[in-house]
A and B are shown apart, each in its own frame.
Chain A
Amino acid sequence: KQEVTQIPAALSVPEGENLVLNCSFTDSAIYNLQWFRQDPGKGLTSLLLIQSSQREQTSGRLNASLDKSSGRSTLYIAASQPGDSATYLCAARDQGGSEKLVFGKGTKLTVNP
């Protein structure tokens, strides 16, 4: 059974700092891994999608990496801004059986001006 863990649960940084969010998963049989952002009371906004055959994806100040062999993904945010404050969720799309997304509990990021 796939399990996804995100560390840390919460993170507070000053504006301008570069930061890394961690995500680990127990079963490497995945189609892809997706990073989302969720603002309070809102739905999920997709940030980056990494296919199982890829090592990383970049979008603007965001870079996500995937290491299937170790069951890890990281989301790197460069030059953080107060507008980046949100909860960041990673989700692995299972390959065997259900093909559902399995989510971590998220990392709540606060960027202080």
Chain B
Amino acid sequence: KAGVTQTPRYLIKTRGQQVTLSCSPISGHRSVSWYQQTPGQGLQFLFEYFSETQRNKGNFPGRFSGRQFSNSRSEMNVSTLELGDSALYLCASSLVQTYGYTFGSGTRLTVV
């Protein structure tokens, strides 16, 4: 059974650019969440999608956005990149609330 797949694995972008990250959840999982991990702040919740609807959003500026498609694949977009957006972005999928999350390997974003 395939796990959660995130692409690309690594990205280097310049300040001011925008970036799109992709996540394919485990087959059958309809809940997809995104987290940002930095050395200083640890793991912070970005947003969660369920059946193409954003259910929850973390405390991040509007430059961070996402969406989920009908096949449950999800993308997140960061516009007008800042140096502080450099982080490991992790995607996770889950079956229902009482099930655990399975995480992907992450996308390492470096903003220069």
Contact = CB atoms under 8 A, between A and B. Distances in A.
Interface string A51-81: 1000000000000000000000000000000
B101 A101 contact: yes
A44 B97 CA distance: 19
Contacts of B103: 36, 43-46
B90 interface: yes
A109 interface: no
Nearest to B58: A100
Contacts of B98: 31-32, 51
A31 B101 CA distance: 12
Interface string B1-20: 00000100000000000000
B100 A46 contact: yes
A100 B49 CA distance: 11
A49 B44 CA distance: 20
